[in-house]
Amino acid sequence: MSADPARFVVVGQGYVGLPVAMRACEVGFDVIGFDVDKERVELLTRAKSFIDDVDDARLAAALATGRYRATSNHRELSGFDHASVCVPTPLHDGAPNLRCIEDAARMLSTHVTPGCCVVLESTTYPGTTEEVFAPILEAGSGLRAGTDFHVGYSPERIDPSNPTWKFHNTPKIVSGVNQTSLDAIRRFYDRLVERTVPVPGTREAELAKLLENTFRHVNIALVNELAMYSHGLGVDVWSVIDAAASKQFGFMRFSPGPGVGGHCLPIDPSYLAWQVRRSLGKAFQFVDIANAVNDRMPDYIVSRATEHLNRHHKSVNGSSILLIGLSYKANSGDARNSPAMAVAKHLHRLGADLRAVDPLVAAEEVPLHVRLVPLDAAEVSRSDLVIVLTDHDVLDWALLEPHADHVLDTRNRLRDAKVERL
């Protein structure tokens, strides 16, 4: 083992890996942030962040300590005491694609030494750590997981742009392939976060992560479907939710919207459904239903926009439509799987002239058929319809109500009587 400060390798420097790397550097680890994306590494080396939860100043401070370095050279990973794998786990034809996890394990395996600790943080199905990840580490190192070195799973719980819950103060689930590995992994994360939550095994930790996101996915689908039915019944769904939320027990508030986005909700519950079908030969009906409801929300928003324009003797084709927000959630520039993008794509197919306001989304993330514009009175006034899709706090919401004649608000941000809400 190396002398203090302990050497920590984080494979993947995206929305999960970069905050982990920053926190580890701040508490005294010597951190190597590895990423296969050379352009990303070059940006990090110049203290240019591309995620909401790590600003340029924080990244520059980490670089200035000399204890953080970004690299795409796997040879620089040797001699680590701890390693964390935070790589993407997309779906491919409905099945988990573990290629990035497998590649990371093979790369780290050549640097595994007795007594080191390797943790998988990427979302995956139960059994991945012990059936896929650990065997690759063993094959490449010639050492035994749980005996010669420590292996475990600790699911990421990053919530981009959450003002309250950050990496360091969000309880961290920890697990190991045996008790020895669990103890070592818990000691490691106890230095990074305020509270660790040990669980009996890696499968429990893997399934706990899927449960967290499936719980949210299913409940969002519930209120999304309720919103569609409420509109047909002439009932204000937001008043219904406010009333139900006054109950102090047995109810948790969820809000409807144009759909779900980001990496977790559109993907993670499908991991659970796939695992149940593979292992038990049964369908996980809640996930299938939730997917169907949430996936059709962008189309439903377009149908509401079409109805709104028709009532005012206009068609979508040729109408000037201003989209407020393109990212998948408020106060974040993350546009991955954003339902707002799906709405824009559908409206474009119908012939709409599309403009959008989103100061947080990078220009290169915006589709070619959408023109980014500032939020000002002129842009609002010239629009046949304004659709609120993402309610960033930085926007001047006071501009909309006095200057927009027609607004469809999917986020319940506006209160003017002339605003049509989801």
Long-range Cβ pairs for the range 280-286 (8 Å, 24+)? 286/214, 286/218
Residue 182 lies in a domain: yes
Any domain includes 1 = no
Shared domain check, 160 and 55? yes
Residue 417, pLDDT score: 81
Q: Indicate the number of domains in the chain.
A: 3
List strand residue ranges (DSSP E) for 60-217, in order.
68-71, 82-85, 91-92, 95-96, 117-120, 150-153, 172-174, 196-198
Domain stops at, among 144, 166, 199: 199
Out of 5-14, 278-287, 335-344, 390-399, pick the least confident: 278-287
Q: Mark whether 231 and 347 lie in a shared domain.
A: no
Average pLDDT score over the chain: 95
Give yes or no: residues 35 and 183 share one domain: yes
Give the whole-angstrom CA distance, residue 99 versus residue 124.
12
Judge whether 383 lies within some domain: yes
For residue 359, cis peptide bond before it (omega within 30 degrees of 0): no
Specify whether 149 is located in the same domain as 289: no
Domain that holds residue 262: 209-294
Domain boundary among 167, 199, 231: 199
Residues 192-243 have pLDDT tens digits of: 999 999 999 999 999 999 999 999 999 999 999 999 999 999 999 999 999 9
Q: Are residues 108 and 89 in the same domain?
A: yes
Evaluate whether residue 145 is within a structural domain. yes
Please list the active-site residues: 264
* 85 & 181 share domain: yes
Considering the domain architecture, whether residues 283 and 145 belong to the same structural domain is answered as no
Q: What is the mean pLDDT of residues 391-415?
A: 94
Determine, yes or no, domain membership for 134.
Answer: yes
Collect all residues with Cβ–Cβ distance below 8 Å to 241 and sequence separation of at least 6. 223, 253, 254, 255
Minimum mean pLDDT range among 91-100, 311-320, 325-334: 91-100
pLDDT above 50 for 2:
no
**One domain, residues 175 and 279:** no
Do residue 100 and residue 20 come from a single domain?
yes
Mean pLDDT across the stretch 169-185? 98
Q: Indicate which CATH number applies to the domain containing 260.
A: 1.10.1040.10
Instruction: Examine the fold and report which residue of 257, 276, 294 is the final residue of a domain before the chain moves on.
Output: 294
Assess if residue 36 is contained within a domain. Answer: yes
Query: Which one, of 183, 189, 199, lies nearest residue 150 by Cα?
Result: 183
DSSP states of 45-71 as a string? HTT---BTTB-HHHHHHHHHHTSEEEE
Q: Is residue 204 in some structural domain? A: no
pLDDT band at 4 (very low <50, low <70, confident <90, very high): low
Please check whether residue 362 lies inside any domain of the structure. yes
User: Nearest to residue 117, comparing CAs of 87, 84, 144?
Assistant: 84
Token code pair at residue 390: 């993402």
- What pLDDT is stored for residue 415 in this prediction? 86
pLDDT tens by residue, 141-164: 999 999 999 999 999 998 888 889
Residues 57 and 190 grouped into a single domain:
yes
Q: Are residues 130 and 151 in the same domain?
A: yes
User: Do both 222 and 335 map to the same domain?
Assistant: no
Instruction: Determine the Cα–Cα distance for residues 323 and 299; give it in Å rounded to an integer.
Output: 15
User: Nearest-CA neighbor of 118 among 86, 92, 89?
Assistant: 86
The percentage of the chain sitting over the pLDDT mark of 90, rounded to a whole number, equals: 88
Q: What is the pLDDT of residue 172?
A: 98
DSSP 248: S
Read off the pLDDT band of 1 (50, 70, 90).
very low
**How much is the pLDDT for 58?**
97
Per-residue pLDDT for 305 more than 60? yes
The pLDDT assigned to 5 comes to: 79
Query: Looking at residue 330, which CATH number applies to its domain?
Result: 3.40.50.720
List all residues 6 or more positions away from 408 whose beta carbon is below 8 Å from its beta carbon.
301, 304, 305, 308, 385, 386, 387, 388, 419, 420, 421, 422
